[in-house]
Structure 1
Amino acid sequence: MVAHRPDALPPPRLVRREDAVELARLYRRQRAYLAPWEPDRADRFFTEEGQLAEIDGVLSRHAREEALPLVVAHPDGSLIGRVTLSGIVRGAFQSCSVGYWIAEEHAGRGHATRALRWAVTMAFDELGLHRVQAEAVPENLASHRVLTRAGFRRIGLAPQYLHIDGAWRDHVLYQRLRGG
């Protein structure tokens, strides 16, 4: 018999419009923590209305099978992060990118690794994708460790890949392949 871990996360679930209030609060609390790793965000993003707009947009992409936007919940049900499969491309490519974050007060406990593994399993088993790509700025050592623990392999460096924290930043590229 396997003992239940009290800190074990439930699987990530699809984001819902009802999450807007809690996500707005969570993003406001995590704003400074996430700033070095995320695009610049207008103040509206951190409001309930801004989160409703974000959720509506990503659910629209989900309906077109272009994204899988998930929330990560603590065992007590409160939201502690996000993991999103985006840029889903079919045809010969069968690929997507994944982005994720866990609230600072929950970091370092394996939650990001577990959420990322679940998302990758969904990408391969439910969506039938062949490849999942992830990117991290070179300085984000915690993210590099999460990606490695989740089975991603480094595949290169993309100069000036994304506009993050006010500048075009290099990113280390990682991937996971189905069955590999």
Structure 2
Amino acid sequence: MRPLRTRDARAWRDVRARNLAWLQPWEATPPAGVEPRPRTFRSMVRMLRAQARAGICLPFVVTYTEPPAPPGPRVEIERLVGQLTVSGITLGSARWAQIGYWVDQAYAGRGIMPTAVALAADHCFFVLGLHRIEINIRPENAASLRVVEKLGFRPEGLRPRYLHIDGDWRDHLAFALNAEEVPEGLLNRWRRTQAAAQSQRGSNTSPG
């Protein structure tokens, strides 16, 4: 995971074009009478960078390094496979933020996005000193719900008509995590969960 850059334009557009049907049902849209979102990648990056300079946003891309395929040369290829944004950063007595994300369908289910969310949450907790991270997800978005389930975010109930998504106001389920719930870091907890799951799978396939 790294900051979003203007030179990511081609890779970002390629991923988005391949995943149009996969992503559109979960995409934020402007309500009637509201200024439309940036129309170009460059204008989106400028907007997000301005918000980052103001201290209210952290825009990241999620990358995945493909392992070299034998028997060819050991050349690793880093691919842009998603985007993660920490938004609504609030300091003072609140000290909270929201996380939103999407991932290339071809890379969904590999643990990439849970790892990215864990990295972002740890940065918010231990570097920015935030206290609460919130994620809001449409009830129909099964893939995104699996991310918060894997990471152990706390469900906080339904928010009716919470965000304007795919052309209308949509209900969302709210999930949250406070810093004191993961004193060792969310990434460490996620890695332990992965290791336990792998160990369980290994014991289930052992002979005898």
Q: TM-score range by the shorter chain?
A: 0.7 to 0.9
Q: Give the counterpart letter for 1:30 in structure 2.
A: N
Q: Deviations over 1:94-153 (max 9, x none)?
A: 011000111000001111111111111111111111001000001112211111212211
Match of 1:80 in 2: 81
- Aligned: 1:35 with 2:24: yes
Mapped to 2, the partners of 1:61 and 1:80 lie a distance apart of 23
SS at match of 1:92: coil
Counterparts of 1:87-102 in structure 2, within 5 Å, are: 87-102=88-103
Superposition pairs for residues 122-161 of structure 1, below 5 Å? 122-161=123-162
- Give the conservation status (yes or no) of the 8 Å contact 1:21–1:51: no
Shift of the alpha carbon at 1:174?
A: 0.4
Provide the rounded CA distance (Å) in 1 between the counterparts of 2:6 and 2:100: 20
User: For the residues of structure 1 that align with 2:157 and 2:133, how far apart are their CA atoms?
Assistant: 14
- Asked if the contact 1:20/1:55 (under 8 Å) is kept, the reply is no
- In the alignment, the residues of structure 1 paired with residue 46 and residue 144 of structure 2 have an alpha-carbon distance, to the nearest angstrom, of 27
Instruction: Rate the CA distance shift 1:43–1:25 in 2: closer, same or farther, 3 A.
Output: farther
Partner of 1:61 in structure 2?
51
Counterpart of 2:61, as a letter, is V
**Shift, 1:157, TM fit:** 0.9
Identity of aligned residues (%): 36
Aligned partners of 2:38 and 2:44 also within 8 Å: no
2: distance between equivalents of 1:84 and 1:158? 21
Query: TM-score of the superposition, structure 1-length normalised?
Result: 0.86
Which residue is equivalent to 1:23? 12
TM-score of the superposition, structure 2-length normalised?
A: 0.75
Is the 1:66–1:87 contact (alpha carbons within 8 Å) kept by the matching residues of 2?
Answer: yes
Instruction: Tell me the CA shift for residue 80 of structure 1.
Output: 0.2
Gaps of 5+ in 2: 31-35, 66-76, 182-208
What is the rounded CA distance, in whole Å, between the counterparts of 1:150 and 1:70 in structure 2?
Answer: 19
Distance in 1 of aligned mates of 2:38 and 2:145: 30
Aligned equivalent of 2:72: none
RMSD of equivalent CA atoms: 1.7
Change over 3 Å in CA distance of 1:51–1:165 after alignment to 2: same
SS in structure 2 of the partner of residue 61 of structure 1: helix
Q: 1:33 to 1:43 in 2, by over 3 A?
A: farther
Deviation at 1:44, TM superposition (A): 7.3
Equivalent residue of 1:161, what SS?
Answer: strand
Please, which moves more after superposition, 156-165 or 16-25? Answer: 16-25
Q: Which amino acid counterpart does residue 37 of structure 1 have in structure 2?
A: W
Gaps of 5+ in 1: 1-11
CA contact (8 A) 1:36 1:165 kept: yes
- Deviation (angstroms), 1:40: 3.6
Distance across 2 between alignment mates of 1:13 and 1:43: 23
Q: How many equivalent pairs are there?
A: 165
Give the letter for the 1:38 counterpart. Answer: E
From the CA coordinates, give the structure whose radius of gyration is larger: 2
* Structure 2 Cα separation of the partners of residues 109 and 141 of structure 1: 15
